[in-house]
Structure 1
């Protein structure tokens, strides 16, 4: 049997087991939870339903990407008014560019994991 497209992608997170393998949903949920602010660990609706967790993680990463884009786009105009030295501004711009690339990879990984959860039936556990 060939490997699913999800795990053959270079964007598949190494912390998440291959779909349909033993405990893969648990590894996916743990990885997704780690992407969210710590306070979200207390929301059982998210933690019990991996598909919801994936959806929220995707929204969270998208929000972070928007914030970094704004920070990157406004650095040259706003940082000098805060008294930040030019060399620090340049380093900050590089930092934001690297972070944006990392968040892009993370967003692709979240999307792949979410797609795999939906395809493999993740999040279908219903509590009554």
Structure 2
């Protein structure tokens, strides 16, 4: 069944084939498995249901973003007490900022892939 959804956007991950291409769902599931802890990536239910895997990846990323934000915002207050010099604290904050940018980019990718997976599932079910 052909999918009419057009995911071409800057948020679509380059590791995932676009809908309509052969094995695009398999490439999406492979990419999503790389985003979740390995113990989740091996659960048969999540392997068979890429929409569930995508949902879990979204939740996982939300938590990672929350953790990085907390670490970044508390760095100036907490790192001096751990003996970190100012230069290390500044580099740490820059590292967290870069990671936050990357995580937000990945989260947008997960959202568009999830939308495509859901629409493809609905198309197969005749909705």
Normalised by the length of structure 2, the TM-score is 0.90
The yes-or-no answer on 1:25 pairing with 2:14 is no
Alpha-carbon distance between aligned partners in 1 of 2:46 and 2:19, rounded to the nearest angstrom: 20
Matches within 5 A, 1:13-52: 13-52=13-52
Deviations 1:58-96 (A, max 9, x none): 000000000000000100000000001110000000000
How many residue pairs are counted as aligned between the two chains?
121
**Structure 2 unaligned spans of 5+:** none
| Partner residue in 2 for 1:113 | 113
SS of the counterpart of 2:121? coil
Match runs of 1:1-16 below 5 Å: 4-6=5-7, 8-16=8-16
Moved over 6 A (4+): none
Query: For 2:53 and 2:42, how far apart are their aligned partners in 1?
Result: 12
SS of the aligned residue for 1:120 comes to helix
Deviation readout 1:97-127 (Å, 9 max, x if unpaired): 00000000000000000000001118x79xx
Q: What do you get for the CA RMSD once the two structures are aligned?
A: 1.7
